[in-house]
Chains A and B, each alone.
Chain A
Amino acid sequence: MTKRSIKLVAGLVLGGVSMTLLGGDITGKVTLKGTPPKEKKLPLDPFCSKANKNAGSATTRFYVTDDNGGLAEVFVSLREVKGEFTAPSEPAVLDQVGCEYTPYILAAQTGQKIVVKNSDPVLHNVHPTPRVKGNSEYNKAQLPKGKDLDFTYNKAEKFLRFKCDVHPWMFAYVSLVDHPYFDVSGTDGSYTIKNVPPGEYVIEAIHRKAHAPKYVGLSQKITVTTDGGTADFVVDLTK
């Protein structure tokens, strides 16, 4: 390797590191306006009722809000980000607890390993059903407290469904994007997208139910500086 190419590589690495270090965090909150439809009770069977701490009150999780209207489980990401990004080495984790997937909405980068655990004393099958060509469908058995299952998807897809057919109320959705700038809103509706390089972006918030089935969410332009940026969203069900 010549001195010149060593300098070039070093420059690129330093540049990359400094960009990351200089990047700001985008923060914001997603709130819900309007009254969501009433959630449905989950028809847990006797085995799952024993395993589920909230067996009597377990419901679907279409709209999870807090007292202030904060809307949880909204997938927030930057749109059309240019560049090549290596998938993180740490996996995104889905767990099966009390015959429910935890979390219900997960986000991961394309190429990142998705690990599915079974913390239940009952058998499950893990059945991802992608809709984007190039992402494969699988159906794998997982014994009670059995070995973790790994899945990796290389194509971006919004809300790739994971289901258990043994327990037909068990669902989780994984959104996959080809860059690291995304988050899922927490229980109070807040989110943080970390280390975004300064610049002009379009940020989008998508709720799985409110923006179904095409998953075209709410979007806005945002300017990110080294101090970061802010973008709030209101998912309006009254329209």
Chain B
Amino acid sequence: MTETPSYNPRIHWFALVTCVATLGLIGVGGVVTSTGVGMAVPDWPNTYGYNMFFFPFSQWVGGILWEHSHRLFASGVGLLTLILCLWTFGRPARGALRWVLVPLSGGGALVSWKTGRFQDAAFLGGVCLVALAVSFVWPRCRPSRPLLKIMGVVALVGVIGQGILGGLRVTLFADQIGIIHAAIAQLFFVLLCGFTLVSSRWWSRLGQQSRPEKVSRVIGWGMGVLTLMVLFQLVLGASMRHQHAGLAVTEFPLVAYGKLWPATDEASIDKLNRERVDHREFEPITKNQILLHMAHRMMALSLFLAAGIWTWVCVRKEPKGHLVGSLMIVWFSMMCVQALLGAATVWSNKAADIATLHVVLGALTLALGALSSMIALRLAQTIPAGVSTSVSSYPDLASVAERPSAGVV
């Protein structure tokens, strides 16, 4: 017998908590890159030979503090994502806990014990016992909608993949993997934000017919294109950060000697490298890095103009106080603050706190863009009479909607 998908407010709030934790994780990751301490813990998945959960607190010094915190924070987000994913499958997920997680962790504990890795054995044994105990009492709810289940599984695969990528970046000494790791982190955050939105009751109600907020589909697609531009901009930023070369262009808005565009001839770059004095002793700047930096600036300018125009279009086209117009104004304002933070990053010679704030706000800008696009496209949907994606489309949900606390864990 198949179970009817059920609306569960607790999953929605839990997803929101996972989103906030992920944003924190992106922040800690930003500090790691901004302070240049990504390699402060040479081994992975261990930390200086310890199982990472047993690494003594007294040794959390210097760059280890941030890199190790990043790993622990990531483990926490991984756990939250695992819970979220299992939760979407409802009661049947108990089988996965009992027949997949318990044997895997139990087997791992045994192997670790036999090979003398007692800390790993203790950790995995603990996971095994907790998973087994939990599987008798949780989850108790019915499965979520297929879309949420898919999003949950993708998020789980994503967070595991991210962990492995982070580890490979350390063990393979590959900066390129760091760029991919940073870009996927942003996408993972957007996915969780999307999950949070789609799992809300508000999202279901948004699809109802005859809404006064209905907007043109073009508005939604336009916002989608802007979101892709933001994503591209974040990838450019990640590429700059993970080359560990510091600022390729050290002035803003003009560049060296009051010019609009920096010199990229060999003699000028050599001079630039000779004159750079910083305790971080960055790698020498190259021509490509200067061009990449300028591409990031040009992209920021393009985004500023495009988002400004689109905000104007949305506000003009839609009635005053319309949801999409308001979202667009907030999004554009966020982009303006982000541009200022970018400038502040240059003015402060890439101070770690400002650069990290720039990364975090970048993630929020991408997420808001993605959510706004989803909302605009949802509002643009033409729903045939008699068909609804609203709360009432689920037989059990109509009654649940009347009782907000009726979601079952």
Contact = CB atoms under 8 A, between A and B. Distances in A.
B280 interface: yes
B278 interface: yes
Chain A's interface size range is 35 or more
B42 interface: yes
Contacts of A47: 61-62
Interface string A32-47: 0000011111110101
Interface string B56-72: 00010111100100000
A141 interface: yes
A166 B37 contact: yes
Given A41-B279, A212-B274, A168 B63 contact: yes
B250 to A, nearest CB: 13
A62 B277 contact: yes
Contacts of B36: 165, 168
A29 B199 CA distance: 74
Contact of B284 (A39, A141, A213): A213
B328 to A, nearest CB: 41
A127 interface: yes
B150 to A, nearest CB: 39
B273 interface: yes
A129 B36 CA distance: 14
Contact of A125 (B42, B270, B274): B42
Interface residues of B, number: 29
A172 to B, nearest CB: 10
Interface string B24-42: 0000000000011111111
Q: At the interface, is chain B mostly helix, strand, loop or mixed?
A: loop
Given A43-B279, A141-B42, A166 B61 contact: yes
Given A123-B59, A167-B62, A139 B39 contact: yes
Interface in A40-91: 40-43, 45, 47-48, 60, 62
A139 B48 CA distance: 11
A210 B279 contact: no
Give the one of A41, A47, A62, A139 with max B CB within 10 A: A139
A122 B62 CA distance: 10
Given A123-B59, A166-B61, A168-B35, A212 B277 contact: no
Contact of B39 (A42, A125, A161): A125
B280 A165 contact: no
A3 B64 CA distance: 65
Given A40-B279, A139-B39, A168-B37, A210 B64 contact: no
27 contacts: A37-B277, A41-B279, A45-B61, A47-B61, A47-B62, A123-B48, A123-B59, A125-B40, A125-B42, A127-B42, A129-B173, A137-B173, A139-B173, A140-B42, A141-B43, A141-B48, A141-B49, A165-B37, A165-B63, A167-B63, A168-B35, A171-B281, A211-B274, A212-B270, A213-B270, A213-B273, A214-B270
Interface of B: 35-43, 48-49, 59, 61-64, 67, 170, 173, 270, 273-275, 277-281, 284
Q: Give the 4 A-B CB pairs with smallest separation, nearest first.
A: A213-B284, A139-B42, A165-B40, A166-B62
Interface of A: 37-43, 45, 47-48, 60, 62, 122-123, 125, 127, 129, 137, 139-141, 161, 163, 165-169, 171, 209-214
